[in-house]
Amino acid sequence: MTNTLTDIQESPGTTHASGRPGGRKPGSYTALRRLWPAVKPISWRLAGSAFFALVASVCGLVIPLILQKIIDGPITEKNLSGLWPLGITLVLVGILEGGLYGVRRILVARPCMRVEAKLRQNLYQRLQALPVAFHDHYSSGQLLSRAISDLNTIRMFLAFTAIFLMVNISTFVIGVIILLSLSWQLGLVFVVLAVPLIVLCLLFEVKYKVLARRSQDQVGDLATMVEESVLGIRILKAFGRSAHLGQAFRKQAMALRATELKKVRVVGALWAVIIALPEIAIGVALLLGVNQVADGDLSAGALVAFFFVAMMLRWPVDSLGWLLASTNETAAAADRYFEVMDQPLTVTSPAVPVTLPPSAQAGRLVFEDVTFRFPDTADENKDALAGLDLVLEPGRTVAVVGATGSGKTTLTALVNRLYDVTGGRITIDGVDIRDLALPDLRTAVSVAFEEPTLFSASAAENVRLGHPDATDEDVRQALSIAQADFVDDLPWGLDTRLGEQGLSLSGGQRQRLALARAVLGHPRVLVLDDPLSALDIHTEAAVEAALRRVLTTTTTLLIAHRASTVMLAEQVALLKDGRIAALGTHSQLMAESADYRDLLSSNAYTDQQEN
Amino acid sequence: MSTDQSWRGVAAEDTDELEHATGVKLQARSRRLLRVLARPHKRLLVLALLVVIADQVAALAGPLLIAYAIDTAVPELVDGNGRPLTWAILGYLAAGLISALMRMAFTRLAGRISQNILLDLRKRVFDHSQELSVSFHEKYTSGKVISRMTSDLDAISDLTEQGLDGLVTGALSVVVVAGTLLVLDLPLGLAVLLGFIPLYGVTRWFQRRSIRIYRRTRRHIAAVIVQFTETLNGLRAVQTFRRESRNAKIFDEDNRAYAHANGDVMVSFAMYTPAVRIIGNISLAAVTVWGAVRVVNGQMEIGVLTAFLLYLRRMYDPMDELAMFYNSFQSATAALEKISGLLEEEPAVPEPKNPVALPNPQGHVVASGVDFSYTAGIEVLPTFDLEIPAGQTIALVGATGAGKSTVAKLISRFYDPSHGSVTLDGVDLRDLSTTDLRRGVVMVTQESFLFSGSVADNIALGRPEATREEIELAAEEIGAAEFIHRLPDGFDTDVRKRGGRLSAGQRQLVAFARAFLADPAVLILDEATASLDIPSERAVQAALRTVLDGRTAVIIAHRLSTVSIADRVLVMEHGRVVEDGTPAELIDGVGRFADLHAAWRDSLV
Ligand SMILES: Nc1ncnc2c1ncn2[C@@H]1O[C@H](COP(=O)(O)OP(=O)(O)O)[C@@H](O)[C@H]1O
Ligand SMILES: Nc1ncnc2c1ncn2[C@@H]1O[C@H](COP(=O)(O)OP(=O)(O)O)[C@@H](O)[C@H]1O
Ligand SMILES: [Mg+2]
Ligand SMILES: [Mg+2]
């Protein structure tokens, strides 16, 4: 068996990530109905737009009548005096028709855009609020395709489909009433026509919505692949595997094409039937009508009028094809949208938050019997953290040491509730962190991640991320603690734009900026996850010296791999099997714990050097 | 370079208000691309046209048959002859059926053409973005590439899916009807053509206005996407530093700007379509009045006028569809401008046209007379020479910013030197095909990106044809197998996006396994052990000792422990090699490395 990236895209994880609808039945328009609150403010505009569209159609109908009058009147009578009023009426009605066309569009143009923007904004804000655990699962391409393509679909629905559904259905109903009044027998033919039409639409809906959904999911998968291909470009280039991924991409793109073609076939078939149905009705009406006229039951004029109206009804019926397709696509898109909007916000502020006691002598961080299991971990797998106890006294620094994958980073993520503990509790100054307002907690706890993230903003703004109102002096101080004075050498100093849309920095530079960001604003609790890993030795020594001053007054949870970093802490905790296996000073643990020695002793190297 | 080239590639992307000449060039470029894309589907397009003609003929036949039924069949029926009626009805049904079938055929054809074009375009953009060099991607941002491949493509699919219908049906009707009008009555027909002058005027107006606004929509939606992806990719930092509200504000700005631009387009369109409609209606009125005068004066038959008026109406109805088509066309043109710009970007590190084959690289690397700068004017490596004999392991050390990574990137051809050359076994890297180059040189950096998918798949990226045993062996060798076996599905565990299921150190181990599996002649490690704990690092080093045997290696590391396995140490400073020797020589000396080593020894405590 060969393992290729091609398979990657079809692994169960991705399918899960695309959030396919589980047991939900595809025929429901519930999601569509749920758009109502967003649409409600513009509903009168939609209705107005539909109304004007209807009036415009009426104008369109009046024009032939005027033409007929001109032909029957002035021209046949060869009397041009009557021509001018009719001609002017014609111009006016023509302008009115055109004008109403414009009015109907202008009425909804901006409001529909605003609805779309609002929905997108809501989605974005929801995504920012959703817990990290949610984002672990959902591929960002799927989220992006919801924010862009799906909302686009919904907007088009509002601006066109919804209006024409209203217009065309009312046109159809009005038309049928006129037909019935002209000849109830003939009219009945068109009433009967509605029956297969409705059945057909229901059948179509079941089939089409599944396809629409599949195609939208595939669009999301493609977006995911594109994103990965760009973010991973260095790896792909380093291994020359672009072509390999290209193949996987092609396969995905072909799958999307296949779905789209299936959709086209279904729509094509629907369309054929929808076009044929009124024609059959007209054919039948023709048979009946001509017979009625021949029998003298119907005047020839009435029959002409009947067909005139019947022909006018063809468009509302024919258009049902794309209206239905668009409606189903929108229903599927709305489904996808609400799937994300419905995700529970599991990490939230409590209803009645407790405030932290005033900060003098504060920052006592306590882990009490903390257990944590990643949401999707099968039960037989053991917890990532299993009954961890650890106390950090105010102003003290505790280094946590453990093997790769022992759960150190997981532990740090619990302190500011990126994840919530699944058992036990974490307290700061005696308050369970879940009883704190989330912003308060996250102001109190500052983190430097092991993989530093910079945003597309100036260096200064990146450092000020958690404290936008920090003074320049504070920023300077933070930068000097992190030995990040290299920012002065950047082209525009502190105002240099960084991040993806700006200057790219080396790993060590990013790490120092992230450290500066974390120490800014004197947090109650500082969490540093392997903060010096990418620094060269001289810089590391300088940062350590500067950090030491900060650490004497700040409660710090310090994750470390190297003895030199561990030395920054007063106490060291050894993390093993999800709990603290040993606690003491560095030299104590070196003396007492074989595991610890194994983890931190560098003798192996020095010995080799000596040889 | 010269100013008239400034529109090339993606250079003009962020400006909507282009000089007229530039705008014309961009539009020409995007239309050229559209033609290139449509060319392979000529036959299908012709077929689609025929189908539409058949559909139109069938549609035209319907009213005629009804007229026949009323004018002829009714009197015949009254006379007791039912046959004309039967024929009329059968004919009518047949016409309806043909029309329905043709519509179905057209829908399928148009769908096929549209999907083929999209597939083609997707592949082109994807492949091209992969071909473009790292330096391009560093500037362009991932969000923009994504927006090119998502929302820009959406705009084009709108055109190909719905536009084709409008264009073919609309253009056909207009041409046929205009021709008929001229034949029916030349003076009146010419009068109708006069109406085309204001029509042209408003279309020009709409064209100029809409393309500018559509450019704006493309730019704003790209900004929305960039912000969106950046937020999701940095979500932990966003939440930790409470950047949600600031982000929401930034997003809101871009999002509103996009909505506003879209609204502008819709408003322009809402002015354009009624203008077309009104021009049509006024020319209808003018023709009616003038026609009436002509009929009264005996210059024209009344029947001709009637037909004329009916046809005129038929001409302006499809004009709406043409306007819709034109609108999608403008939108697609703006999108194609961006896409064609991306496609036009030349890779800064291109594949050779005539590659030199190097099936069995030995690993003899020579950089001679190399100088290099990322940004013009700021030289990072001033004239750099380096020879690494095949099989030698060298360690590159020096302070941050000394240029170590730059050397690594040049040897692995992420960049090409401005002057001089880097050769592998005497062949310039620029003359090697990707396959040969990557058989020769592979680099592992501290950024250990994993793709979503299984652990095994991620390792296999190093050599896709590797067997499962080889994959597991590679993991075993560097000491990654142990943690992998502890994962829920072992090697088949999905690591999820960016490898989020694994810890940073575990990701680095997987990246190592990947590089070992690739089995290159030259292995470059750029701070690749930074996130590992000491025992893991030790395991990797033990593995390196065996793996690097007979292999050329360049190791960059701050922890000098790694240096111990090197045959030779180079100390870099400001882009120059300032010390060069065996580790033992340098440690015993009095140079920078001796200092560095002493400092490192101290840091070990
Ligand atoms: N999002 C996640 N879902 C499931 N398992 C995870 C996730 N993140 C990490 N793990 C697992 O949890 C363990 C601890 O990871 P981590 O805390 O990152 O380790 P480290 O101590 O190296 O920082 C690892 O075995 C890893 O595979
Ligand atoms: N992508 C880049 N664009 C512009 N300048 C860069 C880029 N990468 C590195 N540099 C600059 O080139 C110099 C050498 O950097 P680098 O080779 O990364 O050093 P090292 O790896 O020794 O730390 C530094 O001054 C750095 O700022
Ligand atoms: Mg970690
Ligand atoms: Mg470097």
Measured CA to CA, the distance from residue A137 to residue A326 in angstroms comes to 30
pLDDT at B394: 93
Residues B382 and B247 occupy one common structural domain: no
In sequence order, what DSSP letters do the residues of A235-255 get, joined into one string? HHHHHT-HHHHHHHHHHHHHH
Local confidence band at A20 (pLDDT 50, 70, 90 cut-offs)? very low
Q: How many CA atoms lie within 13 A of A412 on its CB side?
A: 29
Residues B313 and B369 occupy one common structural domain: no
The alpha carbon torsion through A226, A231, A234, A239 (nearest 10 deg) reads -50
Residue B22 in any domain: the answer is no
pLDDT at A279: 85
List, in order, residues 6 or more apart from B542 with CB less than 8 Å away.
none
Residues B387 and B324 occupy one common structural domain: no
How confident is the model over A361-377, as a mean pLDDT?
A: 88
Q: Is the pLDDT of residue A331 over 50?
A: yes
Assigned token pair, B103:
């519509």
- Which residue from B424, B586, B377 is spatially nearest to B520, judged by alpha carbons? B424
Instruction: Please say whether the structural domain A2-7+28-341 has been given the CATH code 1.10.10.10.
Output: no
Binary contact (B70, A304; C-beta < 8 A) = yes
Assigned token pair, B79:
């006379």
Measured CA to CA, the distance from residue B352 to residue B430 in angstroms comes to 6
**What length is written for chain A?**
611
Residues B301 and B444 occupy one common structural domain: no
Cβ contact B487:B509 at 8 Å: no
- Which residue from B212, B201, B117, B197 is spatially nearest to B157, judged by alpha carbons? B117
Q: Which has more pLDDT, B533 or A95?
A: A95
Ligand nearest to the CA of A402: 1
CB distance from B126 to chain A under 8 Å? yes
Distances (CA, A) of B431 to B129, B187, B267, B422, B583: 21, 70, 54, 10, 34
Superfamily of domain A365-610: P-loop containing nucleotide triphosphate hydrolases (3.40.50.300)
Assigned token pair, B482:
């142990």
Task: Give the strands of the sheet with B552-556, arranged side by side.
Answer: B441-445, B522-526, B552-556, B393-397, B568-573, B576-581
Q: Is the pLDDT of residue A8 over 80?
A: no
pLDDT at B62: 76
Residue B543 in any domain: the answer is yes
How confident is the model over A49-71, as a mean pLDDT?
A: 83
Q: Which helix (H) or strand (E) holds A108?
A: helix A83-129
User: Quick one: angle between helices B244-296 and A43-70, nearest 10?
Assistant: 10
- Which residue from A542, A474, A477 is spatially nearest to A508, judged by alpha carbons? A542
Give pLDDT tens digits for B472-489: 999 998 889 999 998 888
CB of B500 sitting under 6 A from ligand 1: yes
The dihedral of CA B502, B506, B512, B518: what is its sign?
Answer: negative
Measured CA to CA, the distance from residue B601 to residue B605 in angstroms comes to 7
For the ranges A381-390, A545-554, B164-173, B189-198, the lowest mean pLDDT is seen at: B164-173
Distances (CA, A) of A514 to A452, A453, B571: 6, 7, 28
Assign residue B201 the CATH number of its domain.
1.20.1560.10
Residue B505 in any domain: the answer is yes
Q: Which helix (H) or strand (E) holds A320?
A: helix A320-341
pLDDT at B5: 59
Q: Which has more pLDDT, B581 or B559?
A: B581
pLDDT at A10: 34
Q: Which long-range contacts (CB under 8 A, 24 or more apart) does B35-38 make?
A: B37/B117, B37/B120, B37/B121, B38/B113, B38/B117
**Ligand 2, atom 13, residue with closest C-alpha:** B401
Give pLDDT tens digits for B14-65: 666 667 778 788 888 888 998 999 899 999 989 988 998 888 888 777 777 8
Measured CA to CA, the distance from residue A567 to residue A565 in angstroms comes to 5
The residue with tokens 């760009």 is A230
Cβ contact A356:A341 at 8 Å: no
Q: Is the pLDDT of residue B554 over 90?
A: yes
How many Cβ atoms sit within 10 Å of the Cβ of residue A379?
6
pLDDT at B259: 95
- Which residue from B152, B164, B154, B212 is spatially nearest to B326, judged by alpha carbons? B164
Local confidence band at B322 (pLDDT 50, 70, 90 cut-offs)? confident
Measured CA to CA, the distance from residue A3 to residue A8 in angstroms comes to 8
Kindly report the backbone phi and psi dihedral angles of residue B512, in degrees, each rounded to the nearest multiple of 5, phi listed first: -65, -45
List ligand 2's pocket residues with C-beta within 6 A: A 504, 506; B 138, 374-375, 380, 398, 400-406
Cβ contact A448:A500 at 8 Å: no
How confident is the model over A361-375, as a mean pLDDT?
A: 90
Give pLDDT tens digits for B427-465: 999 999 988 998 899 998 887 889 989 999 999 998 999
pLDDT at A299: 77
Measured CA to CA, the distance from residue B524 to residue B556 in angstroms comes to 8
- Which residue from A25, A12, A19, A26 is spatially nearest to A130, judged by alpha carbons? A19
Assigned token pair, A241:
């595997």
Domain that holds residue B165: 34-343
- Predicted complex ipTM exceeds 0.85: yes
Share of chain A above pLDDT 70, in %: 92
Q: Is the pLDDT of residue B534 over 70?
A: yes
For the ranges A172-181, B14-23, B533-542, the lowest mean pLDDT is seen at: B14-23
Residues B431 and B304 occupy one common structural domain: no
Q: Which has more pLDDT, B309 or A207?
A: A207
3-state secondary structure of B145: helix
Measured in Å, how far apart are chain A's first and last C-alpha atoms?
46
Local confidence band at B4 (pLDDT 50, 70, 90 cut-offs)? low
- A81, burial (CB in 10 Å: exposed 0-12, middle 13-18, buried 19+): exposed
Measured CA to CA, the distance from residue B41 to residue B35 in angstroms comes to 10
Give pLDDT tens digits for B374-433: 888 888 888 889 999 999 999 998 888 888 999 999 999 999 999 999 999 999 999 999
For an interface test with B, the pick among A52, A226, A291 (most B C-beta atoms closer than 10 Å) comes out as A226
Measured from the Cα of B409, ligand 2's closest atom is: 17
List the single residue in A with minimal CA-CA distance to B86.
A287
The residue with tokens 């019997």 is A369
Local confidence band at A283 (pLDDT 50, 70, 90 cut-offs)? confident
Give pLDDT tens digits for B281-301: 898 888 888 888 888 888 877
Binary contact (A8, B451; C-beta < 8 A) = yes
How confident is the model over A222-248, as a mean pLDDT?
A: 90
Question: What is the distance of C-alpha A522 from the center of its chain?
Answer: 34
Strand extents, DSSP E, A222-302: none
pLDDT at A378: 67
Residue B296 in any domain: the answer is yes
**What length is written for chain B?**
605
Measured CA to CA, the distance from residue B112 to residue B302 in angstroms comes to 46
Local confidence band at A4 (pLDDT 50, 70, 90 cut-offs)? very low
Q: Is the pLDDT of residue A354 over 50?
A: yes
Residues B337 and B372 occupy one common structural domain: no
Task: Give the CA diameter of chain B.
Answer: 125
Cβ contact B499:B449 at 8 Å: yes
Residues B420 and B553 occupy one common structural domain: yes
Measured CA to CA, the distance from residue A159 to residue B26 in angstroms comes to 30
Q: Which of B343, B374, B403 is the last residue of a domain?
A: B343
List the single residue in A with minimal CA-CA distance to B100.
A272
Residues B428 and B532 occupy one common structural domain: yes
Residues B310 and B227 occupy one common structural domain: yes
In sequence order, what DSSP letters do the residues of A360-414 get, joined into one string? TT---EEEEEEEE--TT--TTSPPSEEEEEEEE-TT-EEEEEE-TTSSHHHHHHH
For the ranges A234-238, B89-93, B284-288, B597-601, the lowest mean pLDDT is seen at: B597-601
Residues B339 and B482 occupy one common structural domain: no
Q: Which of B313, B343, B373 is the last residue of a domain?
A: B343
Q: Is the pLDDT of residue A504 over 80?
A: no
How many whole angstroms from B411 Cα to the centroid of ligand 2?
Answer: 15
- Which residue from B238, B150, B452 is spatially nearest to A138, judged by alpha carbons? B452
Ligand nearest to the CA of A575: 1
3-state secondary structure of B501: coil
Q: Which amino acid is at B61?
A: A
Q: Is the pLDDT of residue A96 over 60?
A: yes
CB of B498 sitting under 6 A from ligand 1: no
Q: Which amino acid is at A114?
A: R
List the single residue in A with minimal CA-CA distance to B600.
A537
pLDDT at A379: 65
Kindly report the backbone phi and psi dihedral angles of residue B142, in degrees, each rounded to the nearest multiple of 5, phi listed first: -65, -35
Cβ contact A568:A547 at 8 Å: yes
User: Quick one: angle between helices A320-341 and A83-129, nearest 10?
Assistant: 20
pLDDT at B319: 79
- Round the average pLDDT of chain B to a whole number and report it: 87
Assign residue B410 the CATH number of its domain.
3.40.50.300
List the single residue in B with minimal CA-CA distance to A151.
B151
- Which residue from A4, A100, A18 is spatially nearest to A60, judged by alpha carbons? A100
**Residue boundaries of the structural domains of chain A:** 2-7+28-341, 365-610
pLDDT at A41: 93
Neighbours of ion ligand 3 (CB under 5 A): A 409; B 503-504
For an interface test with A, the pick among B288, B459, B486, B587 (most A C-beta atoms closer than 10 Å) comes out as B288
In sequence order, what DSSP letters do the residues of B30-87 get, joined into one string? HHHHHHHHHGGGHHHHHHHHHHHHHHHHHHHHHHHHHHHIIIIIHHHHHTT--HHHHH
CB distance from B229 to chain A under 8 Å? yes
Residue B475 in any domain: the answer is yes
Assigned token pair, A488:
């002065």
Q: Ligand 1 pocket: which of A134, A370, A372, A374 to mutate (most atoms <8 Å of CB)? A: A374
Distances (CA, A) of A358 to A433, A440, A552: 16, 12, 19
Strands B393-397 and B568-573: parallel
Residues B372 and B339 occupy one common structural domain: no
Cβ contact B85:B73 at 8 Å: yes
User: What is chain A's alpha carbon radius of gyration, rounded to the nearest angstrom?
Assistant: 35
Residues B405 and B457 occupy one common structural domain: yes
Q: Is the pLDDT of residue A18 over 80?
A: no
pLDDT at A441: 94
Based on the structure, what is the number of domains in chain B?
Answer: 2
pLDDT at B605: 60
- Which residue from A75, A287, A322 is spatially nearest to A185, judged by alpha carbons? A287
